[in-house]
Amino acid sequence: MIFKNLSKNLILNLLIIMFIFTVDRITKIYIIYLNDKTYGAELFLSKFLNISLVWNQGIAFGLFSFDQSHLYNLLTLVITVIICVIFVMMVQSHGLKKYSLAMITGGALGNLYDRIAHKAVPDFIDFHISNFHWFIFNIADIFITIGVIFMILFELLVNNREHEKT
C-alpha cells in the first residue's frame, strides 16, 4: 500500500518535472531558432518586455561566469549534485513542499541540460521599466523561482503553526 502511494506520487512529480523540462526546451529551441533566423537582432521589443537571446555561462543571473573550462565543469558537477539532493528531498516530502521541489527540479534540469549541451544557458526574457532592466531569465528560471517562493511560504506557514502549538 505504501509503495502504491509512493509510486502514484512519484509518477505525478515526474510528470511535473517532465512537463517543465519540455516547456523549457521548446521555448529555448524556438528562441535560438528565431535568433539564428534574425542574425541576433532583438526578437521582440516593447515598453516593459524585450525578448533577446543572451548566453549565460554562470549560475543564476550570470553569477560565477568563468572563462576557464575546468571551473565551469566543476560548477556543473556541483549543480548536478544539488539537483540529485533536491530530487531525494522531493521523494521524501509531501504536499506543497513536494510540488515545490518538483518545480525546482524541473527547472534546474532544463538549465543543466543547456549547461551540458551548449556550455551556457540561453536566457531571453528581459523585463524593464525605462532604463532599469531586471536580470534576463528563461522559463526554467521562472519555475525555479516559483518553487523557491512556495518553499519559503511553506516553511513560514509550518513554522508559524508549530510556534502557535507551543
* Active centre residues (catalytic): 123, 141
Full DSSP string of the chain: -HHHHHHHHHHHHHHHHHHHHHHHHHHHHHHHHHHHHTTT--SEE-SSEEEEEEEE-SSGGGTT--SSHHHHHHHHHHHHHHHHHHHHHHHH--HHHHHHHHHHHHHHHHHHHHHHHHSSEEEEEEEEETTEEPPPB-HHHHHHHHHHHHHHHHHHHHHHHHHHH-
Spatial contact of 57 and 75, defined as CB atoms under 8 Å apart: no
How far, in Å, CA of 154 to CA of 28, rounded? 30
Spatial contact of 138 and 28, defined as CB atoms under 8 Å apart: yes
